[in-house]
Amino acid sequence: MFPTAIAFTTYAFALTHMSASSLGVTTYLVPPLTIVMGLVFLGEAPPTMAYAGGALALVGVAVARRKPRTVAQEPAQTA
């Protein structure tokens, strides 16, 4: 319970100092940081399928955030 309280307090503090949209981007850093911390402090290496899942998740984010294509309209012909 204590680590959760620290996380929410830190998030609330950061939210008072920056916009929610820019703070939301930092949530993408959580999985890579936890993987690195697990590797460094616990000696844990993720299985190969975890890397495939992470790549698939990043592809999904890229697809969701891409801008839609605009179709060029032909100029109207006058008679």
Structure token pair of residue 70: 């605009």
pLDDT score at 24? 81
Distance CA 27, CA 30 (A): 6
* Global confidence as pTM: 0.54
Q: Is 53 within the bounds of a domain?
A: yes
Q: Is 72 within the bounds of a domain?
A: no
Going residue by residue through the chain, which has 79 residues, state the pLDDT in tens, using 9 for 90 and above. 788 999 889 889 988 998 888 888 787 788 888 889 999 999 998 899 988 998 998 899 889 888 887 777 777 676 5
Cα angle 74-77-78, degrees, rounded to a multiple of 5 = 155
Q: Is 64 within the bounds of a domain?
A: no
The total of structural domains in the chain comes to 1
